[in-house]
């Protein structure tokens, strides 16, 4: 939802901040890596029950995630490697934060509820995986109720008061599950509208084709057929 409706306006406001950080000597990779450090500190604060401190640390964690992109653009260092690094660190930060939630629930002698953040983490990773897999197939899979910015905000709400902690976690699970299901539906429909190209027979030989190329083509054919790509492969 954030990416779809507010991204341009937020980018316009964060661009000057990114330029200022570049002038101060910061790089996008440094901000991304330090964001993980703040995520670990946030997880510690959540796990040990220092929830008001955790709110502040969570804001700082989100600020790092928000500003690494503008810094990369301002310094003209945006790259495929940087995008990969950012995505990996985001997933690791998500896992660390929910690990802190699980530790807190176990420490409060409510061990069975540790399955709740585990379920949230599973649906969260499904949301990210659906997008990356869809984009690798040339399909769009952005949007939904609970993208990363929204999840961070809702997690902050759980820390406001003890009475909100578990109920808001349940709400977060429902919303992330709905987001994952919605993305799956959109990609499923979009993939079904793509005409599947006919794959050459694995046994058919092309006249003059080198043996190595023919062998590789057979391997690709078997891979697509074995993994069900015959129904979803783009032309």
Q: Is residue 94 annotated as a catalytic residue, yes or no? A: no
What are the residues whose beta carbons fall under 8 Å from the beta carbon of 28, sequence distance 6 or more? 68, 69, 71, 72, 75, 77, 78, 82, 86
Question: CA-CA distances (angstroms) from residue 91 to 6, 32, 38, 86?
Answer: 22, 12, 14, 9
Q: What are phi and psi of 203, to 5 degrees?
A: -90, -15
What are the residues whose beta carbons fall under 8 Å from the beta carbon of 234, sequence distance 6 or more? 137, 138, 139, 194
Half-sphere exposure (CA, 13 Å, Cβ side) for 224? 19
Choice among 29, 68, 86, 90 that is catalytic: 90
Three-class SS state of 29: helix
The catalytic site residues sit at: 90
């Amino acid at each position: 939802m954030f990416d779809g409706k507010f991204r341009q306006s937020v980018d316009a406001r964060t661009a000057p901040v990114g330029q200022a950080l570049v002038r101060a000597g910061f790089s996008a990779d440094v901000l991304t890596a330090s964001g993980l450090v703040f995520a670990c500190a946030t997880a510690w604060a959540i796990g040990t029950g220092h929830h008001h401190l955790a709110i502040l640390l969570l804001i700082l964690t989100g600020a790092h995630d928000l500003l690494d992109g503008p810094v990369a653009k301002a310094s003209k260092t945006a790259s495929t490697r940087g995008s990969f690094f950012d995505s990996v660190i985001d997933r690791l930060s998500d896992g660390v934060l929910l690990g802190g939630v699980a530790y807190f629930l176990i420490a409060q002698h409510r061990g069975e509820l540790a399955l709740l953040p585990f379920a949230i983490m599973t649906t969260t990773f499904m949301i990210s995986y659906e997008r990356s897999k869809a984009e690798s197939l040339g399909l769009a899979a952005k949007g939904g109720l609970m993208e990363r910015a929204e999840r961070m905000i809702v997690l902050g709400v759980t820390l406001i008061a003890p009475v909100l902690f578990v109920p808001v976690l349940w709400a977060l699970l429902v919303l992330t599950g709905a987001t994952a299901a919605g993305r799956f539906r959109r990609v499923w429909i979009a993939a079904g509208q793509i005409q599947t190209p006919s794959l050459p027979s694995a046994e058919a030989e092309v006249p003059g084709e080198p043996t190595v190329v023919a062998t590789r083509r057979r391997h690709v054919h078997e891979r697509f057929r074995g993994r069900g790509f015959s129904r979803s492969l783009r032309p």
